[in-house]
Chains A and B, each alone.
Chain A
């Protein structure tokens, strides 16, 4: 089987859509040079749109745990959330390798594709782990609102954590990078597209607790041990922007959700590990 030097697949950006590309690749006995989201790229090469067909997607989905084991399915779902360039193609190549070698593909770290995907998934997991801590909420009309700007699409991985932490609260986490939000009210969570921010001022209570937190943050450091390099390596600067102890947020974001009928990339509950 050869890579088709000039063939791109186009899909709708959903996980099911990608599974259909896997189906297509086997059906036509070919490997595209890339898999792109709908008309997102210039048409330099010949491209083939691969329509999303739930029946085909379901067949591929069922085959993964069967042939590669449940861990591989979980892994692929995570890989789909990463910011790895050309993640779709990597996932296709990983699955092809897996259909050939079975569950042992998960141990083939010396393989270039497997290794790249593992690194990307580690990056995703690390970022979502850090954000469980670094995310800051403001209390706004009794609800909790927070903003993040992650590189990877971490919202599906944060869902369970924050739902278990605040089962009785209403909260919204906005992912500014991907224009999506995690909305929760007892006892239901959904990941939705979020448009438009308006910012009313924080009320007095909110201001007080932000100030108390800043005071705590500044006081707890031991000045004889000052070590900004160490702080930076544990908490890279790109996270600081949305953290209360560094002055943010100045105001509470007020959000309007895009129509609930909007397309969901992955249902929140499904991508949970």
Chain B
């Protein structure tokens, strides 16, 4: 089997892992070496599905002793198997890197022989890159659940980012679909990684040259739509993970059917891209907008609205919070206004120091007035000619596309009740890149 066949098989097997960012760490090449990293992350291309490609994302091998039912690599699946040798993989990475195809490597693996053995192979590939090629580019390594802590630690000193995928958002789903894995097997390495990162931060203060442990932090991924877990459960788990394990990112991956299994959605089920999109929006609100999970969903409302983004939904459900005055409100309150984002809120703060803002000037600051006008005042005055009715608000908050789809389904009056609207047939946009342009999607 030549390297073309291996690359094809091992890319195909890795593509469902959504994380591809190269963000979170700034560094330049070591003397005599190659490679740097930019904290904002760099996308090197976008694949036909619109996703950012930043890293060479492959498995070391797709051979696996486990049989997780949602996974293409499960033992019982009849699929071609391959494995890179550590050196082969290191050379491929360097050659792609030199040509500026990639920011680095995202290495994951099926479990070959045992978790320890697999982890050792991954360590060897990264060791060749770091020590022989003196490679300082970005490396994201997936911890193999069940591997010895000492090996995970070694992996973490070679990688910039570590991740342990939760995949299934609840223990009952886990028991059902990943019988070989337990909650413990997933959270133990996550806890170990977090502890190592913390200790490392202390060591670096003490000894300046202590080797860095996963300086870009830790992330995880959950599959959306393979199980009945609700948005409410997933978002709460997400919030908990940020708090408890200090994760840098939680990624969501709409389940693409890979098996005909009575426990899973039928093979012709479309991935729930719109749910994935809403979860990313909500995740963004948790990380940058100072929202809590409990403000966005609750026991009575466990699903996101397919037509309205979570921030707009919150605004409509909390009209008593408005209007917010752009000349007086604090940053956090400005951020709650539909049509005002992180960038425009900061500009508002900067600009109003020089003179009082008026409605005419807001557009230049990046405020989307069509949405914001219902929720703001300028020095106590509302915008001219704005009729604040629920109908008008809805019309302005829905995207063109959602509005179009909505006309097909039910009337705006019905929407105002926020019942359980039918599921959107059409996907939103997948975004996982982290450059600031991504913010716009929330406005």
Contacts and interface: CB of A to CB of B under 8 A. Distances in A.
Interface of A: 101, 104, 107-110, 115, 126, 129-130, 132-139, 144, 146, 161, 164-169, 209, 211-213, 215-217, 219-231, 234-235, 243-245
Contacts, number: 169
Interface of B: 3-4, 7-8, 11-12, 14-16, 28-29, 31-36, 38, 40, 42-54, 56-57, 92, 95-96, 98-101, 103, 137, 254, 256, 270-271, 273, 347, 350-351, 353-355, 357, 360-361, 364-365, 427, 429-430, 433, 435, 437
Contacts of B101: 136, 213, 244
A53 to B, nearest CB: 34
Contact of A110 (B7, B28, B103, B364): B364
Nearest to B357: A110
Nearest to B95: A209
B92 A219 contact: no
B98 A227 contact: no
A221 B47 contact: yes
A41 B429 CA distance: 46
Contacts of B100: 133, 135-137, 144, 146
Nearest to B269: A224
A161 B351 contact: no
Given A115-B364, A167-B33, A221 B99 contact: no
A164 B47 contact: no
Contact of A226 (B31, B49, B429): B49
B351 A110 contact: yes
A222 B15 contact: yes
B99 A165 contact: no
Given A109-B347, A165-B36, A219 B12 contact: yes
A82 to B, nearest CB: 18
Given A107-B354, A136-B99, A168-B32, A230 B50 contact: yes
A221 B3 CA distance: 19
Contacts of A137: 98-100
B364 A245 contact: no
Contact of A222 (B16, B32, B40, B98): B16
Contacts of B57: 220
A166 B12 contact: no
B387 to A, nearest CB: 26
Contacts of B351: 107-110
Contacts of A243: 45
B3 A216 contact: no
Specify which of B96, B354, B437 lies most central, judged by the most chain A CB atoms within 10 Å of its CB. Answer: B354
Specify which of A110, A135, A231 lies most central, judged by the most chain B CB atoms within 10 Å of its CB. Answer: A110
Contact of B50 (A101, A107, A136, A234): A234
B429 A220 contact: no
A167 B34 contact: yes
A143 B92 CA distance: 18
Contacts of A135: 100
A263 B31 CA distance: 32
B99 A144 contact: yes
Contact of B256 (A104, A130, A224): A224
B43 A133 contact: yes
Contacts of A220: 11, 14-15, 47, 53, 57
B347 A215 contact: no
B364 A229 contact: no
Given A222-B16, A234-B433, A169 B47 contact: no
Contacts of B53: 217, 220
Given A144-B98, A167-B29, A219 B8 contact: yes
